[in-house]
Structure 1
Amino acid sequence: MRKARFELMRPGEIIQERKRCPVAYLVFGPLEWHGPHLPLGTDPLIAYEIAVRAAQKTGGVVLPPLFWGTERERDPQTLKNLGFQGGEWIVGMDFPENSMKSIYLPEEFLALAARIMIEKLVEQGYRTIVIVNGHGATNQISTLERIATEFTRQKKVEVMCVFVSLADEKGRVDFGHATAMETSRMMAICPDAVDLTRLPPKEKPLKYKEWAIVDSDAFCGKPAPNFEVQDDPRVLSSLTKGEESLRAAVEKIAEKVKEKLDKKEKAGKMQCEKNSSEK
């Protein structure tokens, strides 16, 4: 299997692969509360696994994951959808009953980190950079997409930003947090890091605000009755489900990257033909 992890490659291997396929994957995600049953690095770990598998299909290298992400305070309506009163000050998934806080960075630091890393990769000679974002916060997505657009439009490098969750046949994206899907993915990636015994017995409902485990529908304004988790990780998680989800994400992202590379190659040939005809 083709090597893809930048930190494990020798200089000659990196240079050879860059000449063959000048693509670099850049992974972002915060160290964030994902319930008591999942590790804080869930978002970047999932994104990194997907990036490595995608790079093995498309070519290119994957930089070590940057465990950096940002968040904002929850707006009153979202808080109500999660079972709160609406006037609380809650940032991201740092709910009051959590045993510890997440490590979020201000979005300007995330933007600076992304910009510096892209500039360094351009200096290395990479011409296509794929930002793999493992965190669904609105300001995280907008920040990374803004940086990607900035570099691409300035013609410095082609930067594309992809998210690890897939849209279904109706165009909906699963933004569930620490529910069965993320739990299943972590089971497939690192089963020793998952401990469902840290959650209460199955007969006890999981309340959003008590565990900071939240269904995608709740974030989209459609909370479940009594604000209880429906995509219950205790009941609906499995290694098989996680592996299937990872494979689907890898295929989708690899397809997008290949389409981008094919388009660039075609544009390059057209430019060469144009230059030749003008001589």
Structure 2
Amino acid sequence: MPARKIKWTDMLPHEFVEARNNYPVCWMAYGLAEPHGAFNALGLDWLKADGITKLAAQKHGGIVAPPFAWHVHEVPEFHGDGKTPGWLRNVGVYEPFCNSIPPRLFAQIAFFNIRTFDARNFRAAILITGHCGGPEHILKKACQFYTERTGSPIRLYALCDAECIDRSLPFRGDHAGMTETSQLMALHPDLVDLNNKTCSPDLGERYAGNINFDKQPLPSIKIGEEIIESQIKNLGIIAQDLLNGYVPVENWTAPDLNEAQILADEFVATELDK
């Protein structure tokens, strides 16, 4: 028996309707490519969120939204405030290979993502970013603003993936450390090479990596599987809570694209910097 389709992009029209009606949750992953040490693939943040959303959809149901692997890195993007070297230089990075967009553009895209989930008649959507440390708050604000300003019945939840790691585990969110590296090893073991400990000096030897190779234990597939299993369990709880709280609005219609643009502009102008 073929595996159940979970990706929006892979479904025939009737398959989309069936999957949405069976479990009306849309899963949306966010992330980007950025330095994660010499030993991790640049796209760790995106690969992590993408893998987690797909596993959640396989386990619980729902549809995985089309991908968007561009994100906010820092403000101003990549270069600090012009007076200090900035975060990247502080963590030993001289050539970052990031694919980043400005915060306001990211916020608008996220807002239109939400409007699309609403217009496609999902009852709930979970927006999960693998790139944490601030950008997740843009997603949270966008979710709140959309529902408050439109009155939509859609139930929304935004989070950084580290937020759904089970609190019973001794692992927390990090940057290219035990947690993230183990997660990538579990999802894509071919994209981690712990033997490649440093980069060349022109790139930056540390390259934002945070593993002490002289200390055991080192990241592992087993640790990553334990972390991800807990995340999938907790995302299922979140999704069910959203569905349980859904209250339909009679004759509801999502704002059209022109109406949504007005709201998105208002969101960026009034809420983003709060």
Contact 1:25 1:63 in 2 (8 A): yes
Find the partner of 2:129 among 126, 133, 156: 133
Find the partner of 1:110 among 73, 96, 106: 106
C-alpha distance in 2 between matches for 1:195 and 1:66 = 26
Q: Give 1:253's aligned residue.
A: 235
Q: Aligned AA for 2:36? A: H
Gaps of 5+ in 2: 199-203, 251-274
Q: Give 1:152's aligned residue.
A: 147
C-alpha distance in 1 between matches for 2:19 and 2:192 = 35
Q: Give 1:40's aligned residue.
A: 42
Deviation of 1:51 after TM superposition, in Å, equals 1.0
Deviation of 1:55 after TM superposition, in Å, equals 1.8
Deviation of 1:99 after TM superposition, in Å, equals 4.2
Identity of aligned residues (%): 25
C-alpha distance in 2 between matches for 1:14 and 1:234 = 46
Q: Give 2:13's aligned residue.
A: 11
C-alpha distance in 2 between matches for 1:22 and 1:233 = 45
Give the stretch that moved more between structures: 99-108 or 124-133: 99-108
| Structure 1 residues 62 and 168: alpha-carbon distance in aligned structure 2, compared to 1, 3 A threshold | closer
SS of match in other structure, 1:198: coil
Q: Give 1:195's aligned residue.
A: 193
C-alpha distance in 2 between matches for 1:168 and 1:34 = 23
C-alpha distance in 1 between matches for 2:193 and 2:112 = 37
Give the stretch that moved more between structures: 48-57 or 239-248: 48-57
C-alpha distance in 1 between matches for 2:193 and 2:123 = 41
Q: How does 1:83-94 map to 2 (within 5 A)?
A: 88-91=84-87
Q: Aligned AA for 1:236? A: L
Q: How does 1:169-208 map to 2 (within 5 A)?
A: 169=167, 174-200=172-198
Deviation of 1:122 after TM superposition, in Å, equals 2.1
The answer to whether 1:101 aligns with 2:97 is yes
Aligned residues: 235
- The CA RMSD over aligned residues, in Å, is 3.1
Higher helix share: 1
Deviation of 1:44 after TM superposition, in Å, equals 1.4
Contact 1:24 1:126 in 2 (8 A): yes
| Structure 1 residues 107 and 258: alpha-carbon distance in aligned structure 2, compared to 1, 3 A threshold | same
| Structure 1 residues 89 and 172: alpha-carbon distance in aligned structure 2, compared to 1, 3 A threshold | farther
C-alpha distance in 1 between matches for 2:25 and 2:215 = 36
**TM-score normalised according to structure 1 size:** 0.74
| Structure 1 residues 197 and 179: alpha-carbon distance in aligned structure 2, compared to 1, 3 A threshold | same
| Structure 1 residues 136 and 123: alpha-carbon distance in aligned structure 2, compared to 1, 3 A threshold | same
Q: Aligned AA for 2:236? A: A
Deviation of 1:71 after TM superposition, in Å, equals 2.6
Q: Aligned AA for 1:159? A: L
SS of match in other structure, 2:242: helix
Structure exhibiting the larger radius of gyration computed from Cα positions: 1
| Structure 1 residues 131 and 209: alpha-carbon distance in aligned structure 2, compared to 1, 3 A threshold | same
| Structure 1 residues 43 and 246: alpha-carbon distance in aligned structure 2, compared to 1, 3 A threshold | same
C-alpha distance in 2 between matches for 1:123 and 1:32 = 33
**TM-score normalised according to structure 2 size:** 0.75
| Structure 1 residues 93 and 117: alpha-carbon distance in aligned structure 2, compared to 1, 3 A threshold | farther
Q: Which has the higher contact order (CA 8 A, sep 6+)?
A: 2
SS of match in other structure, 2:195: helix
